[in-house]
Amino acid sequence: MPKSIIPFVGSAAKTADPAAIRTAREAAGLTQEQLADLNGVLPVEVAAWESGAISLSPHEGEMIRWAIENAAYEKQLAQSDVLPCAWLAERRAHFDAMEKRGPRRTAWVARTIDAHRAGCGACMQAERDLPAAPLPPRTPGLTGWIEHAISRLPPSLRLPARAAVTGLEFGSPLFVGMTLVDWLRDPSAGLQLSPSMFLWMTVGTAWLVLTHGLLRPLADRTPRLAGQLWSAALIFPAAFAFAQTDPDLLLRDPWLWGFAAIFSGLIGVVLGRVLDLDDALFSGETAS
């Protein structure tokens, strides 16, 4: 894509430049109807953008620019010898809808796609043979800024970074909630802040996200096996941590590990079924 059509929103501008939107669309070889379809609007709205009848914020203009760049990238992919990824094609409409629901959903889509690409031959070939896919513009707010920064990391670092951020995002409220519950049970003891509890909660949440991402490529092919492995990756470390905190339990106690194995197998069946239903849900959406 020509470099001149990318920065059509000035950093100091309060609204997107209507003429630049039209220039970008025409440079990409798109009609107003095609651009409207890419953004989920009516062609009359695109005409209003380009005439200036409807003012767009800089972020909205950047989202339009991203849609145009994506269309050019998809066209380049179709004209190349690289086979398109069937998994992404099946889920594209769903992912696009999720990204329009806010930065948290956008981050979830990015985590899911990055995890899939790590084990997909078609995606890895596209990354080798084609220029990098256009990155989405930064969503306003702290969450959008963090996701924007993570998206610019090397692919191998994105999943661990997102897992660490998720661990802090969900582990911190859990830690605060449990600390308040303990204080309400015994106000005379005062607030007891336990760094070890905070560490376990944040690391545990990050490990949950990281293992899910690492097993995502396997889950695309054999979800039930991925469910068992995911369950084992969660239950056995939890059993080890529990044994460290309870003096009556020994790491060599066969009952501890026997119970962990049975519980892991049962939870694995449930997780495998959930992953399997996830594929069935997407297949149903595609068919409909």
DSSP 193-225: --HHHHHHHHHHHHHHHHHHHHHHHHHHH-HHH
Residues 6+ apart with CB under 8 A from 144: 103, 106, 138
Q: Tally Cβ neighbours within 10 Å of residue 171.
A: 20
In a domain? residue 122: no
d(CA 285, CA 280): 9
Residue pair 49/90 in contact by the 8 Å Cβ criterion: no
Q: Is residue 255 part of a domain?
A: yes
Per residue in 26-67, pLDDT (tens digit) is 888 888 888 888 777 888 988 888 888 888 877 778 888 888
pTM as predicted: 0.58
In angstroms, rounded to a whole number, what is the distance separating the alpha carbons of residues 28 and 72?
A: 6
| Same domain flag for 69 and 177 | no
Last residue of a domain, one of 55, 79, 103: 79
Could you say which of 79, 97, 117 is where a domain stops? 79
- So what's the pLDDT on residue 103? 61
d(CA 200, CA 171): 8
Number of domains in the chain: 2
Give me the domain span that covers residue 176: 164-287
Per-residue DSSP letter, 187 = G
Say yes or no: 73 and 173 in one domain.
no
**How far apart, in whole angstroms, are the C-alpha atoms of residue 222 and residue 175?**
35
Q: What is the DSSP string of 25-72?
A: HHHTT--HHHHHHHHTS-HHHHHHHHHTSS---HHHHHHHHHHHHHHH
Instruction: Please write the tens of the pLDDT for every residue from 114-172.
Output: 777 767 777 777 777 777 677 767 666 777 778 778 877 887 788 888 889 888 888 88
Tallying the residues shown for the chain, one arrives at: 288
